[in-house]
């Protein structure tokens, strides 16, 4: 039995360390395939569906009892982070219950949201008319900026040569 522990302990430690290297956001059973464009085009089908959408904040504003985030949507990667290398999938409005500090949720920040598709709203992008799907948020992840990620401590184990930025 002691031999099993000496083999199992290093394997468990390695698994825990590797798991800590990749930050993910758990979206549960939310649909990640339905896009904001599809939801806006077929709101009767999309209404009340729980989805996970990600994007770049275009605008954030505090309302009387909630915070409205306007996002330019992108597909989610394997960590459920918006993939800015992919083509955008449409804009949407995320309605978060309560107050969010708009200094933190400023234009350009990446966000992943989980919520229920509620309705569509007509607005404008520049001077163009735009139909936004509205998501009632139940889960939210504000991703760290590149500067914040660079400031995080990095631990490296092993032998060899490595280059980091």
Task: Tell me what pLDDT residue 20 has.
Answer: 47
Going from the N-terminus, what domains does the chain have, and what CATH number goes with each?
Answer: 36-146 (2.40.50.140)
What are the start-end ranges of the H helices in 22-152?
36-41, 43-46, 146-151
Given the DSSP bridges, would you call strands 128-142 and 90-97 parallel, antiparallel or unpaired?
parallel
Task: Tell me what pLDDT residue 13 has.
Answer: 44
Average pLDDT, consecutive stretches of 10 residues, N- to C-terminus, the chain (165 residues): 54 45 86 98 98 98 97 98 98 97 97 98 97 98 83 59 56
Residues contacting 105, CB < 8 A, separation 6+: 57, 60, 67, 69, 111, 142
Residue 117 burial by Cβ neighbours in a 10 Å radius (0-12, 13-18, 19+): buried
Task: Tell me what pLDDT residue 23 has.
Answer: 83
The model's pTM is 0.78
Provide the token pair at 163.
């280059």
């Amino acid at each position: 039995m002691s031999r099993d522990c000496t083999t199992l302990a290093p394997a468990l430690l390695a698994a825990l360390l590797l798991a800590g290297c990749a930050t993910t956001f758990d979206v549960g059973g939310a649909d990640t395939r339905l896009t904001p464009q599809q939801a806006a085009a077929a709101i009767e089908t999309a209404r009340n569906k729980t989805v996970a959408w990600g994007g770049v904040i275009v605008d954030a504003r505090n309302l009387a009892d909630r915070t409205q985030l306007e996002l330019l949507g992108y597909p989610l990667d394997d960590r459920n982070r918006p993939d800015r290398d992919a083509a955008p999938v449409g804009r949407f409005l995320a309605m978060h219950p309560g107050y969010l500090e708009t200094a933190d949720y400023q234009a350009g920040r990446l966000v992943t949201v989980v919520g229920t598709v509620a309705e569509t709203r007509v607005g404008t992008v520049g001077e163009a008319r735009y139909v936004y799907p509205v998501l009632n948020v139940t889960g939210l992840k504000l991703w760290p900026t590149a500067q914040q990620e660079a400031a995080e401590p990095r631990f490296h184990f092993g032998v060899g040569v490595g280059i980091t930025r």
